[in-house]
Structure 1
Amino acid sequence: ISIALGLAEVVVFLVATYVSQVDVSTPVILLTVLIGVGTDYSIFIIARYREERVRGGSPAQSVENAVTWAGESIATSGATVIISFIFLGFQPITFLKGLGLVVGLGVLIALIASLTLIPSVILLLPKRIFFPMTGERFDRYATRVKERLEKKVGYFSRSGKFAIKHAKVIVILSIVVTIPAVYIWANLAPSYDFLGASPKNLESVSAFNTLTNTFGGGSIFPTHVVVKFASPLWNGTAYRTGGMSLLDEISNDTLRNHAVLSVTGPTRPGGARVDFRTLSDDPRSLQLISSMNKMLSQDGQYALLTVTLKGSPYTQDSITVVKQLREQYRSHIAGNPQDLKGIYLGGAAGTIVDTSDVVNTQFYQVIAYVTAAVAVVLLLVLGSLFLPLFAIVSVVMSIAWTLAATAVVFAGLYNFPILYITPLTLFVLLLGLGMDYNIFILTRIREESTKGKPLNEAIITAIENTGGIITAAAIILAGSLGALSLSSSLLLKEFGFAFFFSILVDAMVMRTYVVPAVMSLMGRWNWYAPGRIQRVKMK
């Protein structure tokens, strides 16, 4: 893991230097992800090696079997994680682009290290790898494990039997829990306030809050409106009456909005309306003309309005106001097509609205691309049409549960909503990392089925052999990513809680109970696939 982390820092440097900006929080997320997945991959190789040794295999044969069976699961799992994050690297949002490329390539390094370095170390120290459990101690341990597996008295043996016996009830309960969670997810009002997610003791946060309370939240991040006319408003000696009247009307309409604090522009150089028709060549008029012309382009065809909102540009009210103003401006253009050639609203609030639209569009595109790519990988590995679809559905269920829990917890404890990038990041991360445990359990069930065991017996055997390892790996990964919740930043705190909750639920509830229950109900249809793709022939 340390080697992978060291090489991953080189990746951060290369991506930041040659490809895209890397946000300051990305190396922290990379560190937690690599510790989690690197530990997971290493544990699964070592655990499968130990299982083969318990069965009496030689060190060389045990390593070969571990890499053959566990290695396939790890490679498949790593592929889904890499695919998920690499797709983020093609997004136009800088934060997501840097995060996707850095973490995707970092996981690739961890995967290669686990499949090459770990087996090599095991073969170099075959009798010392489980020190101090060596020699007779290991033999006694192996005897106890085999007796427990034969009697099927362990927790995971019982959970497997329970899931199969009460399959219908478990499936119904999972659907009942999912319905309100999806409702909460669908009705989330995401926040775009990264500054609000920063620690409250920062001077910049205190300054922003003071400015908001004293001068209006838009004073530090004003909204800019550029109005383009067909002909100049100022000809060098006088203003064009029609154009200036239209600009005055646009300014007045903007100011009528309840969320707008003030508007400055050529007809309102100091915030108060100026009658341009009464201006002459006296000193006061000349001073006003000078101020007004500073808000016109050199050719006189463009006018700049500066709109100060009452609230922070990051609030839902401000975002709603921007959308309303854009609708008003479109109406002005439609009503004056000969004179108005365009009205462009920018600034912080406008940028947030555009970012929101891009994220919403990209969210569904990323979901579609990542889901399709992961489904193809699972189809080829599992040799089943149903299981890849079910695996993705189960991850989406976990995401819905997680977003609902995160929204409730952070609204109650911190009065802070879900950040707009949380659902997308969580989906990509959980579809990759959460799919790990799906792949580990499904490939093991497939392995036991190919050895001729009936489906329910294969399910129980797979759970009792991998349940403890999956749970341990999940606790490690959840603890690693959950450490982000200790940060004073609400952004990282929210990420940490969401990752922690989703991974534990995915591994300890979804994989331990829901997956076995659904597979037991589906029977032989679990393994159906056309032609040579099918890998398990069920009678």
Structure 2
Amino acid sequence: MTQLVSPAPERSKPGRSGGGLQRVLQRVAEGIVRRHKLVIVAWLVVIAASTPFAFQLSSVLTKQGASKVVPGTSSADVERLVEQDFPQRSQRETLLVLTAPDVREPRVRQFLAAVDAGLSERVARGEIDQTVSAYTIYRDAATAYLTQLQGPDGIRTAAADLALRTDWAKFPVPVPPEVVSTVISSSGGTTLVSVSFSKKAGNDPDVDGLRALAARSLHDAGLDGVAQVHATGELALIHDTYAKADADNGTMETAAYVIILLVLLLFFRAVVPAVVTLVSIGLAMNVSQAALFGLGHAVTLTQFTVTIMTFVMLGAGVDYSMLLSSRYRQERLAGRSVREAVVHATTHAGESVMLAGGAVALSFGATLLSPVDWIPPLGYGGLLGIPIILLAALTLTPALLTLFGDKFFLLGRKPLADMESTGLLSRYLRRVSAVASRRKIAVTLLFLLVTVPFGFVVASNHSTADPVALSPDTDSKRGFELVAKEWGHGTVFPTVIAGPIAAGAADGTKLTDSGYQAVTDLGDRLAGVPGVSEVDTVARPFGKALPRAEVTDLPPDVRKDFLADNGTLRIVVKLKDEPYSAAASDTVKRVETVLSDAGKAVGNLELGGATRVDEQYGSALNSSFWQMVLLVSLGVFLMLLLTIRSLVIPLHLIGTIMMSNVWAIGVTVLLFRDVFGLPVIDDLPIFLIILMMGLGMDYEIFLVTRVRDLVRGGMANGPATMRAVVDTGRVITSAGLVMAGSLGTMVLSSTIMLQQYGTGLATAVLLDATLVRMLFVPATLLLFGKYNWWLPKLRRAAR
């Protein structure tokens, strides 16, 4: 091993001038040192016991995703009514989209009949409410006609045979063309099969099974190479996005491990510490995944929960372990024994790790307060995983250091040399800190001025929650584009009005005269709203008002789409514009005005659907965003106030993180919106800012606690700041590269959401670990001077 060199050590006894947290950590460290083998064995047992459960984590993840419908809103009420009274038209409706040269040819009829037959058992079990296709429309029309002539016995089989074998253009039984046009495009090249999954199908209906049935039916009908079939709908879009994210995880994790290992090798300049650090943290993550598996039985978890947890835990865990082992090496260089070095490193570096981990846990915990169901699943992983990975860094890493001693740094090139005070990086940091010292006001103003244009970019950005625009290239996205081309976006994402019909407007399942007139009038007024392409009601089920007699004689299958047996009314408004566009939002506001003026005559109706959900989701997101930011800021402020014993430092660090977050969001928006021409997901700012309040705080905490320790040791604020920049420079830079590399691998995902999360988080981390930490934080610390540690009451109490 390389002979140890002492760089003017600080020989104060651990905990003597420290706070309560340091004293607790000192006692914990002393216990770990005495029983380090027991600690290692305990961790191995826990990891071994957790691994089988970690492998089952995917079984508790929902593939349908968490809802973006905000509880307590009109959209939530409409969605509840539709699921309850019109389940065949709820968000669980999935469309099979078949394209062929002529969808009326015999082979297509055979395909449609085979799909219907293949789903019949699931319909009988109640897992599917209904299936609707051109085949079922013609079959049911023939059934009704023949039943009138001959009675019901044997009629359905004969009608099915007639629908299968007869050319629909020459069908002997009259079938309304309006009904057929809902499932066969005007070009005759596309046809739809509607499959409505019921609640008995579970939270994750078998979309892949439906695709497999469609593929078999296509093959059996001899349509391979002639026709194509896709499954689409909101359920299928979310399912495919989650499946893509899951498939990408292996590639992203591999890339993250490779990047982290390379950074660790460069940081330690030795093989053993790099491998041991990465393996120990990687294994400890099994405990987090097992805990998440248990939690998944009680709350909704998604694939994104695991993805976010994996990369945050991996980056944070390695960062914390690096800081401890780096501080151990410095203590050994200062001449302390192995056990003293472990205790001293755990006492002082452990405090920074505890504060950093606490900030991250607060950030994740704040997401649970969001009123939007989509947000909390992203927080569960971090809230559960950070304490576990923090415990591993503070117990397993010291135990391994005690066990191996200096052999921890085996297989390297001078791994125990004084790398903090020598080398290219330390010389560069001295020059940079000198610039921050000489030009502290200029540096501070420059950073603040650069924040202004980035703030303008962030404020002027129009983000979206459009599942199609944000979806990767999937089967469901291609199917949706076909449906939108032939029938319009409103077929999959309509605006929906629902509510109990007014008293006297319906007699059982039939409209009364007054009810018919009221529904017709409302439908006409809604159809006249600019931006509306079609309105479907029980009085105009196919976009065109029907005479009173025809409405009374509507087939039950048509009527029940708009008037439920219990008197709930459903009205479908299809918009001319894409449902998530600003133009669509304006149209929905005009629809709301008409509904408030004329809707009372029809019933107690409320407005919902995709566009209204997006509006209410965005409003709830904005309001909850500021609540969460305030909560996290307050929690971090109090935590730092009590531990660092300063009023200014916590406010300083919170403001610094906000500034770097604005930069990171601005960079992400400019990159995706202006360079790639892609939409920006609407929850990017809330996710990035809330999460970086914890993760980005790490590096400032590492630096500031080092400054504080030097000040406590008798050094003036200016020299302490300059020295702390150099002392912590190497470990913070390396830790930042580890975290940015771990989070940045999310850009390899095929989902735009993870790409933007990865870009934003990696940018924010790199900014905090480099420019902000090297220039802005030192400059402002030097600018505030003695006021950095101003806390009069606590100072008088300490004296």
Structure-1 separation of matches of 2:387 and 2:494:
43
Structure-2 separation of matches of 1:169 and 1:28:
41
Structure-2 separation of matches of 1:516 and 1:505:
14
8 A contact 1:474–1:504 mirrored in 2: yes
- Whether 1:388 aligns to 2:661 is no
Structure-2 separation of matches of 1:242 and 1:101:
53
CA shift digits 1:156-187 (9 cap, x unpaired):
12211111111111111111111121122222
Q: Which residue of 2 aligns with 1:16?
A: 296
Deviation at 1:242, TM superposition (A): 4.8
Deviation at 1:487, TM superposition (A): 1.1
Change beyond 3 A, Cα 1:65–1:246: same
Structure-2 separation of matches of 1:344 and 1:43:
56
Q: Which residue of 2 aligns with 1:64?
A: 343
Deviation at 1:371, TM superposition (A): 1.1
Q: Which residue of 1 aligns with 2:609?
A: 347
Runs of 4+ in 1 over 4 A off after TM superposition: 236-243, 288-294, 533-537
Change beyond 3 A, Cα 1:533–1:378: farther
Change beyond 3 A, Cα 1:530–1:332: farther
- Whether 1:75 aligns to 2:354 is yes
1:149-228 equivalences in 2 (<5 Å): 154-200=427-473, 202-228=474-500
SS at 2:498 equivalent:
strand
SS at 1:64 equivalent:
helix
Change beyond 3 A, Cα 1:445–1:263: same
Q: Which residue of 1 aligns with 2:545?
A: 273
CA shift digits 1:485-532 (9 cap, x unpaired):
011111111111111111101111111110111111111111111312
What is the identity percentage for the equivalent residue pairs of Structure 1 and Structure 2?
Answer: 28
Larger radius of gyration: 2
Q: 2:533 aligns with which of 257, 261, 265?
A: 261
Deviation at 1:228, TM superposition (A): 4.0
Change beyond 3 A, Cα 1:174–1:93: same
Q: Which residue of 2 aligns with 1:326?
A: 592
* Bigger mean CA offset, 302-311 vs 158-167: 302-311
Q: Which residue of 1 aligns with 2:200?
A: none
**Residue type of the alignment partner of 1:21:** T
Q: Which residue of 1 aligns with 2:710?
A: 448
Structure-1 separation of matches of 2:292 and 2:392:
18
Q: Which residue of 1 aligns with 2:726?
A: 464
* Bigger mean CA offset, 52-61 vs 324-333: 324-333
8 A contact 1:402–1:501 mirrored in 2: yes
8 A contact 2:323–2:731 mirrored in 1: yes
Deviation at 1:84, TM superposition (A): 0.8
Structure-1 separation of matches of 2:509 and 2:791:
80
Structure-1 separation of matches of 2:666 and 2:433:
28
Give the number of equivalent residue pairs.
Answer: 518
Q: Which residue of 2 aligns with 1:36?
A: 315
Q: 1:53 aligns with which of 326, 332, 335?
A: 332
CA shift digits 1:133-168 (9 cap, x unpaired):
59xx567x24x765x49x996111221111111111
* Bigger mean CA offset, 67-76 vs 380-389: 380-389
Q: RMSD of the alignment, in Å?
A: 2.5
CA shift digits 1:278-321 (9 cap, x unpaired):
x3xxxx56534865576234354x42211222344333433343
1:390-409 equivalences in 2 (<5 Å): 390-409=652-671
Structure-2 separation of matches of 1:423 and 1:204:
28
Deviation at 1:270, TM superposition (A): 2.0
8 A contact 1:463–1:512 mirrored in 2: yes
**Residue type of the alignment partner of 1:67:** T
TM-score by length of 1: 0.90
Q: 1:298 aligns with which of 565, 572, 576?
A: 565
**Residue type of the alignment partner of 1:441:** L
Q: Which residue of 1 aligns with 2:198?
A: none
**Residue type of the alignment partner of 2:454:** A
Task: List gaps (5 residues or longer) in structure 1.
Answer: none
* Bigger mean CA offset, 525-534 vs 169-178: 525-534
Change beyond 3 A, Cα 1:535–1:434: farther
Structure-2 separation of matches of 1:238 and 1:204:
37
CA shift digits 1:229-286 (9 cap, x unpaired):
441213369855554444333322322333322111022122102243xx3xxxx565
Structure-1 separation of matches of 2:795 and 2:517:
72
SS at 1:303 equivalent:
strand
8 A contact 2:500–2:604 mirrored in 1: yes
- Whether 1:418 aligns to 2:680 is yes
8 A contact 2:292–2:384 mirrored in 1: no
TM-score by length of 2: 0.62
Change beyond 3 A, Cα 1:470–1:536: farther
8 A contact 2:664–2:764 mirrored in 1: yes
Change beyond 3 A, Cα 1:535–1:442: farther
**Residue type of the alignment partner of 2:533:** L
**Residue type of the alignment partner of 1:86:** G
Structure-2 separation of matches of 1:58 and 1:238:
90
Deviation at 1:323, TM superposition (A): 3.5
Change beyond 3 A, Cα 1:503–1:237: closer
